[in-house]
Amino acid sequence: MRDTHTNQASTACTQSQRVQPLLRRLDFKRFTNRPEDPVTKLLTLEEVAELLRKTPAGLRWQIHNGSAPKSALIGGRRMFRDVDVEAFIAEAFDAAAA
């Protein structure tokens, strides 16, 4: 009976020794294979409306017409990426200058 317990313990130790390098490699890949900008800041409809000096209802109308910054429903809420809002503003100024 004691031999069985000893064999199980040594097998568990051996498995642990085999798994540890794999886990370290996975952690290394997880932290080194990230995109340069993995997550951009998300803005709510109200925050974007404030940035664009519009009412939330006015921004909703622009979304309906397709003339608003790119957005998506995330968790049931309309969200905008900050880079998309900045690009939308830059395009508006570029169009005004042309």
pLDDT digits (tens, 9 = 90+) for 8-50: 555 555 667 776 776 666 665 555 555 555 668 999 999 999 9
Q: Where are the domains of the chain?
A: 1-34, 42-97
How far apart are the C-alpha atoms of 67 and 97, rounded to whole Å? 19
What are the percentages of helix, strand and coil residues in the chain, rounded to 5?
65, 10, 25
78 close to 69: Cβ distance less than 8 angstroms: no
- Confidence (pLDDT) at 20: 72
Whole-model pTM: value is 0.60
3-state secondary structure of 56: helix
Residue 17: the pLDDT is 75
Q: Is there a contact between 45 and 78 (Cβ–Cβ < 8 Å)?
A: yes
